[in-house]
């Protein structure tokens, strides 16, 4: 089969590229080994944690870009980053929208009761930013082991309670099982009554982020009515239910648009003719299928997704054999202390301004391939708190560049 | 996958994997999609049941976790794993061992060997069908066999699809071989007829190689030996068909997945790889024809509002949603994809009394997703999904090819 664009990788950057190209009525194939990083890492949209609270994002980011011209943000520029964010937002019409408070970063509580800066916040998590100003009650569930309400409440200096679940659900229970129950009104009736029973003078209730997968705003509203206080969700350990909501929304939209969505299989080989990629093979033993396209986008992530491989001494990109910008020797990969900024976290593929891969001296490598997301060099999303921003901006921009050619 | 091959070659449980589970990074992506652990806490979910528990399993030791039998075998965990852990396979092998030790009830034999009595069922359908629908009869079946009485039992068609085919006027053209599967032959013959008519309309001559049950009911119940027996019966005639230059088409994604992937991967049947490379899902084949400009694309307008559901085995085939791609060419047809995972029937899983409620709970999520779309009919490529969706919604449920046939212009 021949396509206009083949995207390899199903994380946010790949999905964003697929959505951008399919919006322009291109024939698109997206292939991913798993479900990408959304259910692992994402709840909100981080843009750049460095921008302090109260500073408008555009002011903060444009200053930061000047000091970081090699960063993916530096290559794309403020205007296109803004375009990409509004394109992302257009996928999430009310009621489940992503918004910032006053165009700036906000601090939201995490699943261990600390605070982290983030930019676009889904409506069910939004009130978390007011937790320091309001009397809050944190809710945990007995049998759900990824969220310790008392621990979180201690950190946030408020009260926490752990609810016992109805008899049928006793024992261990997972986030997805709870999220599914939350969509049943009989379960919400039970939870609402239990919370109300424990409520003293709190005006805000914090739940782990599992208030439903399909219709979280409805779940939130209904519980608020039953309890008589405002609710918010707190991001927890994987699987991330808010991340799944993003993934599901993209998937729904892409399939609607006729994008070929191949989840569960990785590209085993790429074929080249000169400086062009002319096809990729997807192996599903014993069958190998060849797909070709005018353009390709590599969105395979760093190590978790298999975008980069590491042996004792070198880090490599296994599919297109692109050069990986990295420290000269293995001793330089890590600093001594865990919390230092490790050089390992800045490695990746170098690209030109249209995100085509290039060598250390700036030489072009492949004309019709673009590289997006966290596999890119010169960014450290862990330290920068910039993961989703980089994914959205580069995915969008690479697809736009491919379309323009 | 070396170990799987190794195991299959020997069928010797001492050779089963020891360290494969160490690929798991405990990311819990599988926990996000498992339909069973989403509805019941009796099953701990793929992360724990698969690679987690695997670390504690020793070949010589008896099985300790009866919950392993609750894995429905949907493969969805495999599809989301970023590390390539064959989770559902670890589960299947552990289940096989557990059931080998426990012994299988007669009920499981009966559910997995319908190919033995299907033709009889078809011949005596007039007597049998009312009995199969009868409430008292189903109550007795539940009591004696443990097949849940709330589950409709499939009724039989007469004549069989093969008998119909023998009497239909053949068309000359490029030959394609068709693997229709037992259910189409005796219970849903119209799907077979529609497949033949659509292929003939596109200039093909359909041939039916001699065939038996593909063996997936046995494999799904952890019975490797019986599954292998069926595969060994099928491969020679399928091999002969493709060696004479025909491609092999399947209309059931379940049988198709079994032939294309499990015959070689899990069962190591000689010749199966050669067959697999020439084996195609019906709509994948039609989509390929379209790509090369050889599909007849003039269709009648059909004013139908339909919902399409992608079966688990179709997802596992890794070919996208070809039925949806083709059906979107039909004028007048409104079709939307149902955003839900796994119908919950799981082949024979949902027939079993002790699993019926779990099956229904999983199905309810699908029912809600279908209800939201308010379709007139539902389309899906797998007979199990069709049974379950009809059971859940009461709606008319068809194979996509039955709608495509309606749109053909003679």
Report pLDDT digits (tens) over B320-333.
Answer: 999 999 999 999 99
Mind listing the pLDDT tens digit for each residue in A86-126?
Answer: 999 999 999 999 999 999 999 999 999 999 999 999 999 99
List the one residue out of A66, A9, A17 whose CA is nearest residue A318. Answer: A9
Verify whether the Cβ–Cβ distance A238 to B365 is below 8 Å: no
- Same domain, residue pair A265 and A355: yes
B357 to each of A271, A286, B149, how far by Cα in Å? 49, 37, 12
Classify residue A78: in a domain, yes or no: no
Verify whether the Cβ–Cβ distance B32 to A170 is below 8 Å: no
The pTM of the full predicted model, rounded to 2 decimals, is 0.95
Q: Which domains does chain B have, with CATH numbers?
A: 2-102 (1.10.1060.10), 166-290 (1.20.1050.140), 296-407 (3.40.50.10700)
A44 to each of A97, A105, A275, how far by Cα in Å? 11, 11, 38
CB B176 within 8 A of CB B222: no
Q: The domain spanning residue A180 has which CATH number?
A: 3.40.50
Chain B positions touching A258 (Cβ under 8 A) are: 325, 328
- Same domain, residue pair A309 and A181: no
Quickly list DSSP for A19-66: HHHHHTT--EEEEESSS-SHHHH-SSB---TTSPTTSBHHHHHHHHHH
Q: How many CB atoms lie within 10 A of CB A67?
A: 8
- Same domain, residue pair A306 and A375: yes
Residue in B315, B320, B342 to test binding to A, most A beta-carbons within 10 Å: B320
Q: pLDDT band at residue B3, thresholds of 50, 70 and 90?
A: very low
Domain, as residue range, for A388: 2-28+244-404
Mind listing the pLDDT tens digit for each residue in B375-408?
Answer: 999 999 999 999 999 999 999 999 999 999 999 9
- Same domain, residue pair A229 and A249: no
- Same domain, residue pair A216 and A251: no
Q: How many residue pairs bridge chain A and chain B with CB atoms within 8 Å of each other? A: 121
| B-proximal residues of A, 169-228, CB under 8 Å | 169-177, 180
Q: What confidence score (pLDDT) does residue A304 get? A: 86
Out of A234, A264, A281, pick the residue that ends a domain. Answer: A234
Asked whether the ipTM of the predicted complex exceeds the cut of 0.85, the reply is yes
- Same domain, residue pair A212 and A248: no
Closest alpha carbon within chain B to A304: B82
Out of A182, A212, A234, pick the residue that ends a domain. Answer: A234
Residue in A111, A255, A289, A308 to test binding to B, most B beta-carbons within 10 Å: A255
Burial class (CB in 10 A: 0-12, 13-18, 19+), B358: buried
Mind listing the pLDDT tens digit for each residue in B20-71?
Answer: 788 898 888 899 899 999 999 899 999 999 999 998 988 889 998 999 999 9
- For residues A218 and A238, give the distance between their C-alpha atoms in angstroms, rounded to a whole number: 23
Q: Quote the tokens at residue B287.
A: 């989509």
List the one residue out of A283, A326, A284, A281 whose CA is nearest residue A303. Answer: A326
Classify residue A38: in a domain, yes or no: no
Classify residue A36: in a domain, yes or no: no
Out of A170, A205, A234, pick the residue that ends a domain. Answer: A234
What is the helix (H) or strand (E) element at residue A207, kind and residue range? strand A204-208
Residue B7 has pLDDT above 70, yes or no: no
- Same domain, residue pair A370 and A267: yes
Classify residue A100: in a domain, yes or no: no
Chain A positions touching B85 (Cβ under 8 A) are: none
Total domains in chain A come to 2
Closest alpha carbon within chain B to A245: B32
Classify residue A220: in a domain, yes or no: yes
- Same domain, residue pair A313 and A385: yes
Q: Which pairing describes strands A369-371 and A121-122: parallel, antiparallel, or unpaired?
A: unpaired
Residue B6 has pLDDT above 60, yes or no: no
Phi and psi dihedrals of B306, rounded to 5? -120, 155
Verify whether the Cβ–Cβ distance A261 to B320 is below 8 Å: yes
Residue B180 has pLDDT above 60, yes or no: yes
Q: What is the mean pLDDT of chain B?
A: 93
- Regions of chain A with pLDDT less than 50: none
- For residues A214 and A233, give the distance between their C-alpha atoms in angstroms, rounded to a whole number: 15
Q: pLDDT band at residue B4, thresholds of 50, 70 and 90?
A: very low
CB A251 within 8 A of CB A32: no
Classify residue A112: in a domain, yes or no: no
Chain B positions touching A248 (Cβ under 8 A) are: 339
Q: What confidence score (pLDDT) does residue B104 get? A: 92
The SS3 assignment for B21 reads helix
Cα of B382 to nearest chain A Cα, Å: 19
- Same domain, residue pair A269 and A160: no
Torsion of CA A191, A192, A196, A202, to 10 degrees: 100
Torsion of CA B1, B3, B8, B9, to 10 degrees: 110
Q: The domain spanning residue A300 has which CATH number?
A: 3.50.50.60
- Same domain, residue pair A254 and A320: yes
Q: Quote the tokens at residue A146.
A: 């990824």
List the one residue out of A346, A354, A358 whose CA is nearest residue A399. Answer: A354
Verify whether the Cβ–Cβ distance B31 to A239 is below 8 Å: yes
Chain B positions touching A34 (Cβ under 8 A) are: 29, 79-83
Classify residue A398: in a domain, yes or no: yes
- Same domain, residue pair A304 and A375: yes
Q: How many CB atoms lie within 10 A of CB A228?
A: 12
Residue B10 has pLDDT above 60, yes or no: no
Mean pLDDT of B94-108: 94
- Same domain, residue pair A272 and A392: yes
Could you say which of A34, A177, A286 has the minimum Cβ distance to residue B29? A34
| B-proximal residues of A, 36-55, CB under 8 Å | 36, 39-40
**HSE-CB for A129 with a 13 A CA cutoff:** 21
Q: What confidence score (pLDDT) does residue B58 get? A: 84
Classify residue A168: in a domain, yes or no: yes
Q: What confidence score (pLDDT) does residue B253 get? A: 98
């Amino acid at each position: 089969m021949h396509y206009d664009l083949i995207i390899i990788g199903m994380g946010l950057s790949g999905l964003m590229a697929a959505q951008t190209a399919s919006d322009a009525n291109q024939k698109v194939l997206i292939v991913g080994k798993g479900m990408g990083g959304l259910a692992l890492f994402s709840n909100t949209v981080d843009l750049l944690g460095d921008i302090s609270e109260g500073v408008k994002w555009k002011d903060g980011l444009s200053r930061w870009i000047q000091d970081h011209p090699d960063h993916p943000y530096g290559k794309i520029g403020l205007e296109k980053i803004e375009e990409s964010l509004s394109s992302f937002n257009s996928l999430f019409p009310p009621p489940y929208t992503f918004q910032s408070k006053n165009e700036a970063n906000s601090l939201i509580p995490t699943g261990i009761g600390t605070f982290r800066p983030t930019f676009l916040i889904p409506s069910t998590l939004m009130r978390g930013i007011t937790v320091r100003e309001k009397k809050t009650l944190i809710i945990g569930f007995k049998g759900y082991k990824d969220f310790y309400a008392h621990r979180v409440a201690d950190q946030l200096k408020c009260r926490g309670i752990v609810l016992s679940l109805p008899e049928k659900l006793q024992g261990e229970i997972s986030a997805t099982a709870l999220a599914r129950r939350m969509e049943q009104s009989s379960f919400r009736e039970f939870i609402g009554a239990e919370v109300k029973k424990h409520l003293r003078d709190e005006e805000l209730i914090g739940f782990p982020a599992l208030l439903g997968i399909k219709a979280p705003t409805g779940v939130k509203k209904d519980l608020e009515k039953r309890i008589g206080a405002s609710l918010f969700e707190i991001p927890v350990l994987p699987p991330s239910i808010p991340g799944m909501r993003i993934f599901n929304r993209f998937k729904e939209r892409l399939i609607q648009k006729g994008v070929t969505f191949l989840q569960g299989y990785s590209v085993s080989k790429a074929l080249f003719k000169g400086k062009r990629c002319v096809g990729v093979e997807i192996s599903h033993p014993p069958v190998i299928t060849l797909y070709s396209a005018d353009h390709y986008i590599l969105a395979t992530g760093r190590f978790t997704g298999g975008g980069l491989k590491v042996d004792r001494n070198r880090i490599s990109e296994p599919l297109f054999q692109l050069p990986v910008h990295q420290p000269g020797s293995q001793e330089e990969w890590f600093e001594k202390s865990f919390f230092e900024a490790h050089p390992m976290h800045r490695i990746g593929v170098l690209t030109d301004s249209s995100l085509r891969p290039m060598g250390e001296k700036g030489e072009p490598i492949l004309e019709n391939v673009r590289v997006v997301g966290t596999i890119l060099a010169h960014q450290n999303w862990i330290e920068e708190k910039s993961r989703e921003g980089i994914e959205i901006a580069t995915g969008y921009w690479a697809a736009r560049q491919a379309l323009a050619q | 996958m070396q170990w799987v091959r190794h195991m299959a070659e020997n069928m010797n449980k001492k050779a089963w994997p020891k360290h494969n589970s160490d690929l798991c990074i405990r990311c819990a992506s599988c926990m996000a999609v498992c339909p069973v652990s989403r509805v019941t806490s009796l099953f701990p979910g793929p992360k724990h049941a698969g690679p987690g528990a695997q670390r504690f399993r020793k070949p010589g030791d008896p099985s300790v976790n009866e919950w392993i039998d609750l894995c429905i075998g949907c493969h969805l965990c495999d599809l989301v794993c970023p590390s390539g852990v064959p989770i559902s396979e670890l589960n299947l092998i552990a289940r096989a061992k557990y059931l080998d030790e426990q012994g299988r009830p007669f009920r499981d034999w009966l559910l997995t060997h319908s190919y033995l009595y299907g033709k009889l069922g078809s011949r005596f359908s007039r007597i049998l069908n009312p009995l199969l629908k009868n409430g008292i009869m189903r109550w007795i079946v539940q009591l004696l066999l443990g097949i849940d009485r709330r589950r409709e039992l499939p009724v039989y068609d007469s004549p069989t699809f093969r008998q119909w085919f023998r009497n239909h006027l053949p068309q000359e053209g490029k030959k394609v071989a068709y693997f229709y599967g037992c259910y189409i032959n005796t219970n849903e013959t119209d799907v077979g007829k529609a497949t033949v008519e659509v292929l003939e309309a596109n200039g093909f001559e359909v041939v039916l190689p001699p065939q038996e049950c593909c063996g997936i009911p046995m494999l799904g119940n952890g019975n490797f030996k019986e599954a292998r027996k069926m595969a060994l019966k099928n491969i020679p005639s399928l091999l002969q068909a493709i060696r004479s230059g025909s491609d092999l088409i399947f209309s059931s994604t379940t049988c198709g997945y079994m032939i294309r992937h499990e015959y070689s991967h899990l069962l190591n049947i000689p010749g199966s790889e050669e067959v697999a490379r020439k084996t195609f899902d019906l709509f994948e084949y039609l989509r390929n024809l379209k790509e090369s400009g050889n599909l007849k694309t003039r269709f009648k307008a059909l004013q139908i509002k339909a919902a399409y559901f992608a079966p688990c085995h179709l997802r596992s085939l890794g070919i996208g949603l070809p039925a949806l791609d083709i059906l979107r060419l039909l004028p007048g047809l409104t079709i939307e994809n149902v955003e839900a995972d796994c119908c919950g029937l799981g082949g024979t899983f949902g027939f079993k009394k002790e699993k019926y409620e779990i099956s229904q709970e999983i199905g309810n999520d699908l029912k809600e997703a279908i209800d939201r779309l308010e379709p007139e009919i539902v389309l899906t490529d797998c007979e199990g999904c069709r049974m379950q969706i009809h059971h859940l919604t009461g709606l008319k449920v068809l194979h996509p090819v039955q709608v495509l046939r309606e749109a053909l212009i003679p």
